[in-house]
Amino acid sequence: MKTTEKINSCGCDGGVCALSAPVSQKKITMQQLSLGFAGLAAWYVLYLQLLPFSNFFAYHLLQLDQGSHLGASIQFFVYDTPKVMLLLTLIVFVVGMIRSFFTPERTRMILAGKRESAGNVLSALLGTVTPFCSCSAVPLFIGFVQAGVPLGVTLSFLIAAPMVNEIAVVLLYGLLGWKIAALYMATGLAVAIIAGWVIGRLHLEHHIEEWVREIRMGEQIIVEEKLSWHDRMRMGGEAVKDIVGKVWLYVVAGIAVGALIHGYVPENFMAAIMGKDAWWSVPAAVLVGIPMYSNAAGIVPVVQALLSKGAALGTVLAFMMSVIALSLPEMVILRKVLKPTLIAVFIGVVGAGILFTGFLFNLII
């Protein structure tokens, strides 16, 4: 089976290489430690200055009116952009270090002996911390299936990996507060766990393409060298360079759109079409979101703007989840290993989970 078309949408993060460059210091020295603390302190001081600076910039330096559309938009943009970038840098660094403990190889080993239920929970959790790239979805799927990881457990991983990631959580925290970030994380994991479990219960293993099961996968264990803290910090730094370097444009563009909506779209404009009373808006948001693809960096600022104009939280979260978790490009990739029936079930079950989440939040909040 030839599978060679181009895949352009790809949210790859770090992985593992046999580290070769000799590391001069194996232990963290006092100097490095104090440098780290100084960096953190500088980060915090900078962070505290952002709000006063944005007010100063928009209302004093540019002399815009406090209540004007332009003033509100510019203040919003000047405040949010550096804030999000600062948060992103810190969290991506920390997550980059955490990820150095988890490789797809190790995750596979952990999941190999697991049964369903507990396996689904573990799999979704590992999905959030294992470095994963959507164009690796197929080799990873094959690797998991070959290692005897149940189908449903594998799918829990594949749902959670793109949906619950540090970029989404940071942006939600930065723009909407920790409650919504925590809510998103918890419900995202729940959707991944339950959807994977349900698909496992349906026993659709025969809807995996035959060639996947026929492959004798080469057994290879990549030589994992012992990483020192120094190496892990280096990996964190590389993750920052890599991820922040890639998503900053989305963040800026997203915040710019958010700023425009923030300044110019009237309050409660969204209430009629995306508000609580419009029950049909949740399924509509999910249907619109499924074929769309954007990473978290692009979608969260838009989400924030929608919320501030009266859209209901459940509707907006459902929209965000369906955009990030289910996308046309990913389905095209997965189609190589899953038969159409299984793809349809996958979309149906995950979509239903997201729909339920949306309704639930609109009901209780």
Partner 1 sequence: MEIKVCGPGCPKCHETERIVNEALGEAGIGIIVQKISDFSEIAKLGVFATPAVVIDGKIKCTGKVPSKKDVLSWLK
* 104 scored as a contact of partner 1 (CB under 8 A): yes
Alpha-carbon gap, residue 294 to 171, rounded angstroms = 14
Q: Give me the least distance between CB of 155 and partner 1, in Å please.
A: 16
The token duo for 337 is 């290993």
* 151 scored as a contact of partner 1 (CB under 8 A): no
Please list every residue from 329 through 358 that binds partner 1, using CB under 8 A: 333, 336-337
* 10 scored as a contact of partner 1 (CB under 8 A): yes
Only one residue has tokens 């949906």, namely 163
* 110 scored as a contact of partner 1 (CB under 8 A): no
* 133 scored as a contact of partner 1 (CB under 8 A): yes
* 103 scored as a contact of partner 1 (CB under 8 A): yes
Nearer to partner 1 (CB atom), residue 83 or residue 99? 99
Alpha-carbon gap, residue 145 to 151, rounded angstroms = 7
* 364 scored as a contact of partner 1 (CB under 8 A): no
Question: Can you say whether residue 28 is alpha, beta or left, with left for phi > 0 and alpha for psi between -120 and 50 degrees?
Answer: beta
* 6 scored as a contact of partner 1 (CB under 8 A): yes
* 17 scored as a contact of partner 1 (CB under 8 A): yes
Give the other-Cβ count within 10 Å of 271's Cβ.
15
Per-residue interface string for the shown chain with partner 1, residues 202-221, x marking contact by CB under 8 A: ---------x---xxxxxx-
Provide the CB-side half-sphere exposure for 107 (13 A, CA): 31
* 68 scored as a contact of partner 1 (CB under 8 A): no
* 143 scored as a contact of partner 1 (CB under 8 A): yes
Alpha-carbon gap, residue 343 to 316, rounded angstroms = 25
Q: Give me the least distance between CB of 139 and partner 1, in Å please.
A: 4
Identify which of 129, 351, 96, 127 has the alpha carbon closest to the alpha carbon of residue 242. Answer: 96
Please tell me the count of residues contacting partner 1 according to CB under 8 A.
45
Please list every residue from 281 through 340 that binds partner 1, using CB under 8 A: 333, 336-337
Alpha-carbon gap, residue 237 to 97, rounded angstroms = 8
* 249 scored as a contact of partner 1 (CB under 8 A): no
The token duo for 128 is 């959030």
* 24 scored as a contact of partner 1 (CB under 8 A): no
* 14 scored as a contact of partner 1 (CB under 8 A): yes
Which of the 8 DSSP states describes residue 338? Answer: B
Only one residue has tokens 């999000």, namely 84
* 226 scored as a contact of partner 1 (CB under 8 A): no
Alpha-carbon gap, residue 90 to 79, rounded angstroms = 17
Alpha-carbon gap, residue 96 to 144, rounded angstroms = 23
Residues binding partner 1 (CB under 8 A): 1-8, 10, 12, 14-21, 103-105, 108, 131-133, 135-136, 138-140, 142-144, 146, 211, 215-220, 222, 333, 336-337
